[in-house]
Amino acid sequence: MDRIEHHLFVIFGATGDLTKRKLLPALYRVMNENEVADRCVVLGVSPGRLDDDGFRRLCRQALTEAGIADTGTDRWAEERIFHQFVDRDAPLDELRHRIEQIEAQCGLPGNRAFYLALPPPAFPGVVTALDHAGLDQAPGWARLVIEKPFGSDLESARALNQLVHAHFDESQVYRIDHYLGKESVQNLLTFRFTNPIFETTWTRDRLDSVEITVAEDLGVETRGGYYDGAGVLRDMMQNHLTQLLTLVAMEAPSSFTADAIRQEKVQVLESMRSIDPAAVVLGQYTAGSVDGAASVGYLDEDKVATQSRTATFAAVRVNVHNWRWEGVPFYLRTGKRLAERTTQIAITYKKPPVCIFHGIADDCPISPNVLVLTMQPHEGFEVRFELKEPGTARVVTQPMSFDYADRFPQLPSAYQTLLLDVIIGDQTLFVRADEVEASWNLWTPLLERDDIAVHPYPAGSWGPPAANDLLTTGDDRWTMRMRW
């Protein structure tokens, strides 16, 4: 791919889990599949006492565990991977000298990506240190990649934006949300704006509701300490589900460019008013069974406070107050230790205004048409429609579906897509500063309340029954309860 220039990819937190499980395999696949492996040199930065050979062994192990075992991995590790020890909170002058040395050794033009695979409290210090060492400027381009969460509320997000902008231009900043790298999430825009049969019906006159579900069957695992201070609204709702909402609700951009697309997403958030606490249901999982295996409750997880009120489930009803969506409720639902792992968007249409089948079909049982877009674990979409069952007078609901795996068996990972975009300088799938703040502006008032009840729900269920009470339209049941 000609757009991939020779560059140095610098990873802060090089020995961490994210680097080993996601970043190194994704970088290798990007370079190998585009046959430009010689254009990417990786410099791992960490406080670990590793020399280059030690880090290369770690990288080979990470690639092997990711199922990558071709002959190119050894050559890539030997010739294109290095490590630099850096003390926490220390100046980065030694790092600057090492970068210049590697660029001269490998014949690089000075293009640099700095990926902060670090805990959020470390972001400000590293950003400031990069500037003090002169690394925010480069002979070529310099790009800063920041993992979520970007802030913990509106005030902290604004402060972090101000700090980042004091050292880097917004055009250099890539705030990463891995959900936006999923092929099926990206396809939302293509699906909407190249298929008028659907797009022209996504209006308040035709639609009953929109549901967005991001369900996890896992608990907090080893993240109990972090999660107990964050909770479901910060961990999932403010970023992943809000991103999906903006992609569903945005208007057609003037062009398929980063700024045009991101501007439409911001306008969706600016059309949303404060969320009514009465339209929020929170929950916390208790002991139960997930996929036949016993599961402990949240309060028994490692590093979780014994009396914690942290929510692990949230269901929220919101509205987008603009010409297209006024009066159409959006139902957002996410949680841990739910019945299954899935991400789905369900667009439910209004039923026919009059049923003409009385006396033919019992009780005229017509269900609404539903368009279901599935992001994981099986990417695809499904349209649910009504028809007459042959040989009877019954009206039945049937699905018509498309599964990505049937047509495209090999989909790139989310990180593979996003890292390629960082390298070629495409910001379309990354979150802009004003979008971050608009999202936190929506959710921060809820985070500041302590009077919203947290309902218990057994692990392996679909959350507390109170979540069903949010549904004010249709059949008063979540679409995910329908099975085919």
Q: What are phi and psi of 280, to 5 degrees?
A: -125, 130
- C-alpha–C-alpha distance, residues 424 and 466, integer Å: 47
Could you tell me if 321 and 271 are in contact, meaning their C-beta atoms sit under 8 angstroms apart?
A: yes
User: Each residue of 294-329: pLDDT tens digit?
Assistant: 999 999 999 999 999 999 999 999 999 999 999 999
pLDDT for position 210: 95
Report CA-CA distances (Å) from 386 to 345, 362, 375, 400, 483: 20, 15, 24, 11, 16
Question: Higher confidence at residue 410 or residue 451?
Answer: 451
What is the distance of C-alpha 49 from the center of its chain? Answer: 33
> How many residues does the structure list for the chain?
484
DSSP 8-state code for residue 361: S
Q: Say if residue 481's pLDDT is above 70.
A: no
pTM value?
0.92
**Where are the domains positioned within the chain?**
7-147, 182-409+432-481
Q: What is the token pair recorded at 388?
A: 């007459």
User: Each residue of 74-95: pLDDT tens digit?
Assistant: 788 788 999 999 988 789 999 9
Could you tell me if 470 and 279 are in contact, meaning their C-beta atoms sit under 8 angstroms apart?
A: yes
Average predicted confidence (pLDDT) for the chain:
90
Q: Is 417 helix (H, G, I), strand (E, B) or coil?
A: helix
Over residues 386-393, mean pLDDT: 80
pLDDT for position 406: 85
Closest CA to 444 of 149, 148, 121, 156: 156
CATH architecture of 7-147: 3-Layer(aba) Sandwich (3.40)
User: Each residue of 160-175: pLDDT tens digit?
Assistant: 999 999 999 999 999 9
pLDDT for position 49: 85
Q: Say if residue 56's pLDDT is above 90.
A: yes
pLDDT for position 25: 94
Over residues 183-196, mean pLDDT: 86
Closest CA to 447 of 274, 241, 222, 302: 274
Q: Annotated catalytic residue: which of 97, 240, 358, 455?
A: 240
- C-alpha–C-alpha distance, residues 467 and 123, integer Å: 36
Q: What is the token pair recorded at 185?
A: 């999430």
Highest mean pLDDT among 177-186, 380-389, 441-450: 441-450
- C-alpha–C-alpha distance, residues 243 and 332, integer Å: 11
Q: Which secondary-structure segment (H or E) carries 9?
A: strand 7-12
DSSP 8-state code for residue 207: E
Residue 357: pLDDT band with limits 50, 70, 90: low
Q: How large is the angle between the packed helices 433-447 and 154-167, nearest 10 degrees?
A: 160
CATH number for the domain formed by residue range(s) 182-409+432-481? 3.30.360.10
Could you tell me if 80 and 37 are in contact, meaning their C-beta atoms sit under 8 angstroms apart?
A: yes
- C-alpha–C-alpha distance, residues 1 and 161, integer Å: 33
Q: What is the token pair recorded at 335?
A: 């949680």
Q: Say if residue 359's pLDDT is above 70.
A: no
Residue 265: pLDDT band with limits 50, 70, 90: very high
pLDDT for position 182: 81
Dihedral angle, C-alpha 37, 41, 45, 50, nearest 10 °: 80
Q: What is the token pair recorded at 453?
A: 């009840």
User: Each residue of 395-443: pLDDT tens digit?
Assistant: 888 889 888 888 887 778 889 999 999 999 999 999 999 999 999 999 9
Q: What is the token pair recorded at 44?
A: 């791992």
Q: How many other CB atoms are there within 10 angstroms of residue 473's CB atom?
A: 16
Q: Say if residue 472's pLDDT is above 90.
A: no
Q: Say if residue 482's pLDDT is above 50.
A: no
Question: Higher confidence at residue 36 or residue 438?
Answer: 438
User: Each residue of 101-139: pLDDT tens digit?
Assistant: 999 999 999 999 999 999 899 999 999 999 999 998 889
- C-alpha–C-alpha distance, residues 209 and 226, integer Å: 34
pLDDT for position 484: 31
Closest CA to 82 of 125, 139, 131, 44: 44
Active site residue 321: no
Region of residue 233 (left: phi > 0; alpha: psi -120 to 50; beta: else)? alpha
Q: How many other CB atoms are there within 10 angstroms of residue 314's CB atom?
A: 25
